[in-house]
Chains A and B, each alone.
Chain A
Amino acid sequence: MNSCANEVYTYLLARLGNRFDADDVFQSTFLKVRRFLPGFRGEASPTTWVMRIAMNEASSFRRRRGRELPLMDAEDALPSSALNESGFDPVAAETARDVAEGMQSLPADLRDILYFFYFKELSYEQIAALLGVPAGTVKSRIFRAKQALRAYLEAHRDHRP
């Protein structure tokens, strides 16, 4: 249980966007894990099983709360590439902020897919196994997510003075 705690917490932070909600859902996830552990038959790996519970918990948490807090402050989302020798690269900072904002506009299922693909660097097949969907669905969701994000960024560029 301890081994996948960090993995689950990182996912929840990415999914929910702030530590307060991530803490709440982390607790409820592991309460469920303890409750359902006797029924765990080992069809999936323990990490996959716990991660699925975390995904369900995150979804029901959002449904209950009906709100979405920002996916980190844009300033928190500054990559190290935004810092050059003089300390700050406004171009990289602007890009990071736009991407962070664009991510917020995506539905949760698409954001999940991007997280597993770009951050966890899982293969299509691994993501498919985790989500219980065909690999083709994973590919099409990644495509849709990128398309939506690209559209957001284009629209954002058009409205910028």
Chain B
Amino acid sequence: MTIDHKDEDLDQALRLHYHAILDGVTAPEQLRRQVLTCTEPQQGSMARWAPVLAVALAGASFLVVLASSRMAEIVFRF
């Protein structure tokens, strides 16, 4: 470590640190345009059904897995 830990040195090092990484930073134009024009995702009338659909899909997947394991059991029995 080469810095003297006197208060002024630390102050100076902190200022340099911030200016080195942040000077000239601006929000990307595309991102700025996006936030100024976009609408919130899932704000439509379907948004309220999203959790119901997720549960239904999970249930359906479970039934498919269950049915295929039963099918496999029957097939292998023959």
CA distance A68 to B15 in the complex (A): 22
Q: Nearest Cβ distance between residue A84 and chain B, in whole angstroms?
A: 14
Whether the Cβ atoms of B28 and A10 lie closer than 8 Å is no
Residues of A in contact, count (CB < 8 Å): 44
Interface: B16 (CB within 8 A): yes
Whether the Cβ atoms of A149 and B17 lie closer than 8 Å is no
| Closest chain B residue, CB of each to CB of A119 | B18
Interface: A144 (CB within 8 A): no
Chain A residues near B38 (CB-CB < 8 A) = 31
* Interface bits B1-24 vs A (CB < 8 Å: 1, else 0): 111010100110111111111100
Chain B contact-residue range equals: 20 to 34
Whether the Cβ atoms of A103 and B35 lie closer than 8 Å is no
* CB proximity to A under 8 Å, residues B18-46: 18-22, 25-28, 31-32, 34-36, 38, 40
Interface of B is mostly: helix
Interface of A is mostly: helix
How many residue pairs bridge A and B at CB < 8 Å? 99
Q: Nearest Cβ distance between residue B15 and chain A, in whole angstroms?
A: 5
Q: A30-B35, A35-B40 are contacts. A99–B14 as well, Cβ < 8 Å?
A: yes
CA distance A99 to B10 in the complex (A): 9
CA distance A22 to B18 in the complex (A): 16
Chain A residues near B16 (CB-CB < 8 A) = 79, 81, 96, 99
Q: Nearest Cβ distance between residue B61 and chain A, in whole angstroms?
A: 26
CA distance A9 to B22 in the complex (A): 10
CA distance A115 to B7 in the complex (A): 17
Whether the Cβ atoms of B1 and A5 lie closer than 8 Å is no
> B-contacting residues of A (Cβ < 8 Å)?
1-2, 5-6, 8-10, 13-14, 23, 26-27, 30-31, 34-35, 71-72, 76-81, 91, 94-96, 98-100, 103, 114-115, 118-119, 146, 149-150, 153-154, 156-157, 160
